[in-house]
């Protein structure tokens, strides 16, 4: 049970970090050197995977996937009013798709581990 709580905490902390970094003005936001799409995909996939490890039912995981698309779209829309930030629909789609990838990756790994055990 402690691992479930840790994954939930880490996932929700990741959501908070995505929100904070997405709403930070461009000049203040840390730069990784990677393209925005790679940053989006990596962040959303990792956070969604953590959330999927914390919430394991099918309906909860579907909610995580839907939430990834909604969060990505909402943050892209909000970035229209943040100085030094740009907004585009492709970034929102990449974010949501990455969230789906993270959830499906965890589900597939867990499925395969059940067959091994």
Which pTM was predicted?
A: 0.93
Angle at 24 between CA 35 and CA 96, to 5 degrees: 55
Which residues, given as ranges, of the chain have pLDDT below 50? Answer: none
Listed in sequence order, the residues at least 6 apart from 18 whose beta carbon sits closer than 8 Å to its beta carbon are 43, 44, 47, 71, 75
CA distance 91 to 114: 35
pLDDT of residue 39: 93
pLDDT of residue 32: 87
Listed in sequence order, the residues at least 6 apart from 99 whose beta carbon sits closer than 8 Å to its beta carbon are 44, 45, 47, 48, 64, 65, 67, 68, 69, 71, 72
């Amino acid at each position: 049970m402690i691992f479930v709580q840790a994954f939930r905490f880490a996932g929700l902390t990741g959501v908070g970090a995505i929100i904070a970094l997405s709403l930070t003005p461009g000049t203040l936001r840390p730069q990784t050197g990677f393209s925005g799409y790679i940053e989006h995909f990596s962040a959303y996939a990792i956070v969604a995977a953590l959330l999927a490890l914390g919430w394991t039912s099918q309906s909860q995981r579907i909610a995580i996937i839907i939430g990834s698309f909604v969060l990505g779209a909402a943050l892209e829309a909000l970035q229209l009013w943040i100085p030094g930030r740009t907004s585009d629909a492709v970034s929102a789609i990449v974010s949501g798709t990455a969230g789906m990838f993270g959830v499906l990756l965890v589900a597939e790994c867990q499925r395969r581990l059940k067959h091994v055990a």
